Amino acid sequence: MTENFEVPSPHEKHVEHATEHAQARGDGFASRIAVMTAIMATIGAMLSYQAGSTESEAAMDKNNAAILKTEAANQWNYYQAKSSRQNLSEMASHIPGLDAAHYTAEVERYKKEKEVVRQKAEGLEAKSREWDDKSEQVLHQHHRWAQAMTAIQIAISLAAITLLTRKEWLKRLAYTAAGVSVVLGGLAGLHI
């Protein structure tokens, strides 16, 4: 039977040792840092979710824009086909011996059909631009969430270093980074 052994790293041993001694002597400093780290980790999880969610939304919006752009391109191709038929009918109306009235009517029909196709293509392009703009706005929001997530990760790292070094200035720096994260998350939530 094989046994699995876990060999803790020197860092893990030091953190465990410092935590045990801090608890034994009622160290409020370590307890406050531990609670703050847990709060920051919770905030980080929420920020991470929002960042992923907005990234997916931006991709879906961009996809919708691309689909509508393709549909618009198809309409412009259809418009071009109507133009070609109109041109052929115009030429046929000038050929002696052919029914000029029939081809003149065809020219008018194609002109009307082209106008409907043109309006549809322009409408699709406008909707595509709307989806594209929405995607850009959501992507900007995603970047804010990602910046907030980065700041909270830095704050958590600083809190861990603070716990090890017991430096008050590092604690203030960790809290400042956490504050920056909250501000960035607030800006993302407000779509700024």
Report the range of poorest mean pLDDT among 13-27, 56-70, 110-124: 13-27
DSSP summary character for residue 98: S
Q: Which residues of 30-47 are buried (b: 16+ CB within 10 A; e: fewer)?
A: beebbebbeebeebbeeb
Q: What is the pTM of this model?
A: 0.69
The whole-number pLDDT of residue 105 equals 92
The whole-number pLDDT of residue 9 equals 65
Distance CA 188, CA 172 (A): 24
User: Is position 147 within any domain?
Assistant: yes
The whole-number pLDDT of residue 46 equals 92
User: Is position 21 within any domain?
Assistant: no
The whole-number pLDDT of residue 21 equals 65
User: Is position 71 within any domain?
Assistant: yes
Mean pLDDT of 110-125: 94
User: Is position 20 within any domain?
Assistant: no
User: Is position 3 within any domain?
Assistant: no
Mean pLDDT of 40-56: 92
Mean pLDDT of 151-166: 91
Mean pLDDT of 165-173: 91
Distance CA 24, CA 157 (A): 24
User: Is position 39 within any domain?
Assistant: yes
User: Is position 16 within any domain?
Assistant: no
The whole-number pLDDT of residue 164 equals 87
Mean pLDDT of 98-123: 92
Question: In which domain, by residue range, is 37 found?
Answer: 26-189
Please state the domain count of the chain: 1
User: Is position 7 within any domain?
Assistant: no
The whole-number pLDDT of residue 23 equals 60
Q: What angle do the packed helices 168-189 and 100-165 form, to 10 degrees?
A: 160
Q: What is the pLDDT confidence band of residue 187, given thresholds at 50, 70 and 90?
A: very high
Mean pLDDT of 171-183: 93
